[in-house]
Structure 1
Amino acid sequence: MPLDLTSPAGRRAATLNSLFVDHAILRTGWRNWGAIVPGRLYRSNHPQPWQLAQVARRHGLRTVINLRGHRAECGSDALSREEAGRLGLTHIDAPLESRGAPHRDRLLRLADLYAGMAEPALIHCKSGADRTGLAAGVFLLLNGGTSQQALDQLHWRFGHVSASRTGILDAFFRLYAREAEGRTPFLDWVRDAYDEAALRASFKSRGWADRLVDGVLRRE
């Protein structure tokens, strides 16, 4: 059931859920922070309220994009959503997938959000490694960047493991590079030529990497 932040008991429950069920305790000292385009777009793992307030002050944030989507029973979601409202930030849910071929409709919606959002903005998922890297790369390609710059946002330094099932996100950018970069604008390619099913069928992960990401790191 949805978490209730209006009572002390409800707030305690949300905080404990965030720290120990959603693993926010591991994100207290590890922010997985990055400036994608300074002054315009930043990235991180799911921020705790005090972390969001700190970043908002330091960088003048105006928008937060939550790539996990709305999770009514997640303490991290409830607390950061409330804090965004307290800070006067626009909070947008734009769920993406980390282990499947990116869905065309979600990519097109993200492009629309980027075009209309108030900047600077922060994008985050849970760990800030996979979905955040995809969304960061999409932003760069929409703003004159290259597929290699997009791929750099899916890097081991952010905790991304390209040999695992999350490597299909790397394959997505490589597919654009191979099929259309330099000839067709990225958004046009996504809209008119990108084949989700073909990408899904062609990608193969490695067992050891899947065990690491899914079993040890327990990523979403």
Structure 2
Amino acid sequence: MTVSTGVFCKRLLFSSVVLLVIGPVSYGLYVWKEGNFDVVAEGRVYRSRQLDQYELARYVREYGIKSILNLRGKNLGSRWYQEELMAAESLALRHYDYGISANRDVADQDLERILAILREAPKPILIHCKSGADRTSLISALYLYGIEGRSPEEAEQQFSMRYGHIPFLGNSTAAMDRAFRRYVRTHPLSRSTPQHGSLPASKAMTDDAMDGRIPRDGRRDGI
């Protein structure tokens, strides 16, 4: 029995839609299973979602990670935070907390303090938030631009849907993109900006920069 052209086209369209949906979903599940882990600067900076103690130990072994920057901030009553601290201690990692919101613009003052941590921290360092999609994208891009002197276009590749960053359709996480672009406007690259991993001398870090700060309204979103 032959199939009409109309029916064939409908089936082809349906199959294409299914592939378009299943493909990204499958990839997203794979990325999540792997911890949303990726290289920002080989041998210096890596990024991920919140990892459990076993995932963290695995990546420490594979990549020689020596420190962690937690963008969710101090959460002393949370199990994930206590487990991360214990894992960091058992793995002899330096642990830094600096809480920022994924849904609000991050002030230049906060970005400068985070850059100070990134300069000071033993390398390689792992940057993470909850999902590794938004806050982690901002700080990964900030590192490439502010410390390694990469172009804004290259640094901005850290904002990607492959990490789960979706800054459109009214999504409030577009605040991360705005914060980065504002920082680029107010801090243009100069000839003295280090290139590709040549790090400048460390800035002195305040207690706030070491411990993480709560936004001015006292809340953190997306912890």
Provide the TM-score with structure 2 as the length reference.
0.67
1:157 aligned residue: 162
> Can you give the 5+ residue segments of structure 1 that lack an aligned partner in the other structure?
1-25, 187-217
* Equivalence map 1:125-136=2 (5 Å): 125-136=129-140
1:169 aligned residue: 176
Question: Which amino acid in the other structure matches residue 171 of structure 1?
Answer: R
Q: Which one has more relative contact order, counting CA pairs under 8 Å at least 6 apart?
A: 2
* Equivalence map 1:31-180=2 (5 Å): 31-142=35-146, 143-163=148-168, 164-177=171-184
Query: CA shift at 1:103, angstroms?
Result: 2.0
How many equivalent pairs are there? 164
Instruction: Note the alpha carbon deviations across 1:5-56, whole angstroms, 9 max, x for none.
Output: xxxxxxxxxxxxxxxxxxxxx9972411110001000000001000111111
1-side partners of 2:65 and 2:222: how far apart? 27
Residue 102 of structure 2 contacts residue 222 of structure 2 at CA under 8 Å; is this kept in 1? no
Residue 147 of structure 1 contacts residue 176 of structure 1 at CA under 8 Å; is this kept in 2? no
Q: Return closer, same or farther for 1:174/1:158 CA change in 2, 3 Å cut-off.
A: same
Q: Return closer, same or farther for 1:162/1:40 CA change in 2, 3 Å cut-off.
A: same
> Can you give the 5+ residue segments of structure 2 that lack an aligned partner in the other structure?
1-29, 194-220
Query: CA shift at 1:105, angstroms?
Result: 2.5
1:213 aligned residue: none
More helix by share: 1
Q: Return closer, same or farther for 1:28/1:138 CA change in 2, 3 Å cut-off.
A: closer
* Equivalence map 1:197-212=2 (5 Å): none
2-side partners of 1:137 and 1:69: how far apart? 19
Query: CA shift at 1:175, angstroms?
Result: 3.2
Name which of structure 1's ranges 100-109 and 125-134 shifts more when overlaid on structure 2.
100-109
Question: Which amino acid in the other structure matches residue 137 of structure 2?
Answer: G
Residue 100 of structure 1 contacts residue 165 of structure 1 at CA under 8 Å; is this kept in 2? yes
Structure 1 or 2, whichever has the larger Rg, is 2
Q: Secondary structure at the match of 2:132?
A: coil
Provide the TM-score with structure 1 as the length reference.
0.68
Give the RMSD, CA atoms, in angstroms: 2.4
Instruction: Note the alpha carbon deviations across 1:134-164, whole angstroms, 9 max, x for none.
Output: 1101100121112122221111110011111
Question: Which amino acid in the other structure matches residue 172 of structure 1?
Answer: A
Instruction: Note the alpha carbon deviations across 1:98-148, whole angstroms, 9 max, x for none.
Output: 111112232111111111111001010000001101110110012111212
Instruction: Note the alpha carbon deviations across 1:164-205, whole angstroms, 9 max, x for none.
Output: 11112112233345566456989xxxxxxxxxxxxxxxxxxx
2-side partners of 1:145 and 1:27: how far apart? 25
Residue 150 of structure 1 contacts residue 173 of structure 1 at CA under 8 Å; is this kept in 2? no
2-side partners of 1:182 and 1:78: how far apart? 39
1-side partners of 2:186 and 2:61: how far apart? 42
2:206 aligned residue: none
1-side partners of 2:179 and 2:191: how far apart? 15
